[in-house]
Amino acid sequence: MSSNTESNNPATPINIPTTPVTKKIEPEFAANQTGNAFYNKVKADFNKYSQIHYCNAEQIKTRWTSLKTATLKFSAIYNAIERNPPNTIDGPSDSSATASGLCTPSACSSGPLACLIGQKAAKRRQTEGDKDEEKLARAAEFTEVVRERLALLNRAANIFEAQNALSEKRLSLEEKKYLLEEKKLLLEEEHRLIELQAHELKRFCETDSHANDPETSEVLKMMEKKIKNKWLSPM
């Protein structure tokens, strides 16, 4: 009977369990891809929509690294504020102050984050002050060196002027010496002429044959007159 019943019933569909097939779609910028592939995809996407400025993968990597660093710093500061909200007095609540980003000066200046930022600012100011002091010290040292060199230059100029004065005086003395030597030569020449004339005068005087000669007497008188004029004339 059961066989008849089964034969009389229409065919029932057989339910076969199936699992949905999901197609794995790789995202446009997957997090598990290599750095070069990521920067190349960013470059292609940027150059696709930018018709003016062109960037290569190295430029994208440099700018993306700077943006990533700034984002990580901002995230750390934001998470620190979320974990330790500033204490406000007569002001908005912690949650509203954190959400709006507004807080009183006392609240902003309190807490470990403010202390950390204050320490960094103080360290930066101290570093800048040390740099300024170092620059001032170098400037003072440079000024001292310049002053010493100027003093040496002035001293050298004075020595050079003194040497010029000595050289001029030496030239003047040499000129006077030359004039004296020239005058000495003239005097020696005149002395030789006078000696020669005196010798001739003596020879004429010692010769008896010329004693009564009027020409000889005239020559002797002229020589005597010349000698007297030479020695009696003012120098």
Q: Which tens digit of pLDDT belongs to each residue from 88-115?
A: 544 455 455 444 555 554 544 455 555 5
Residue 89 lies in a domain: no
Mean pLDDT, to the nearest integer, of 8-22?
A: 54
Query: Torsion over CA of 61, 67, 68 and 73, rounded to 10 degrees?
Result: 150
Residue 1 lies in a domain: no
113: nearest Cα among 89, 84, 137: 84
**Phi-psi bin for 90: left (phi > 0), alpha (psi -120 to 50), beta?**
left
Over 70: is that where the pLDDT of 116 sits? no
Give the DSSP letter of residue 6.
H
Tokens of 148: 């010493």
Residue 13 lies in a domain: no
pLDDT tens, position by position, 24-48: 445 455 555 556 787 788 778 777 7
Residue ranges of the alpha helices (H) in the chain?
2-8, 35-49, 57-83, 94-100, 105-108, 112-206, 214-232
Give the Cα separation of 131 and 189 in Å (integer): 86
Give the Cα separation of 117 and 73 in Å (integer): 12
Residue 102 lies in a domain: no
Residue 106 lies in a domain: no
**Phi-psi bin for 111: left (phi > 0), alpha (psi -120 to 50), beta?**
left
**Phi-psi bin for 101: left (phi > 0), alpha (psi -120 to 50), beta?**
left
Residue 126 lies in a domain: no
> What's this model's pTM, rounded to 2 decimal places?
0.29
Give the Cα separation of 92 and 99 in Å (integer): 10
86: nearest Cα among 102, 66, 110, 68: 110
Residue 61 lies in a domain: yes
Domain count, the chain: 1
Residue 107 lies in a domain: no
Q: Which domain holds residue 69?
A: 35-83+136-232
**71 vs 51, higher pLDDT:** 71
Give the Cα separation of 36 and 57 in Å (integer): 8
Over 60: is that where the pLDDT of 141 sits? yes
pLDDT of 150 = 92
pLDDT of 153 = 92
pLDDT of 57 = 75
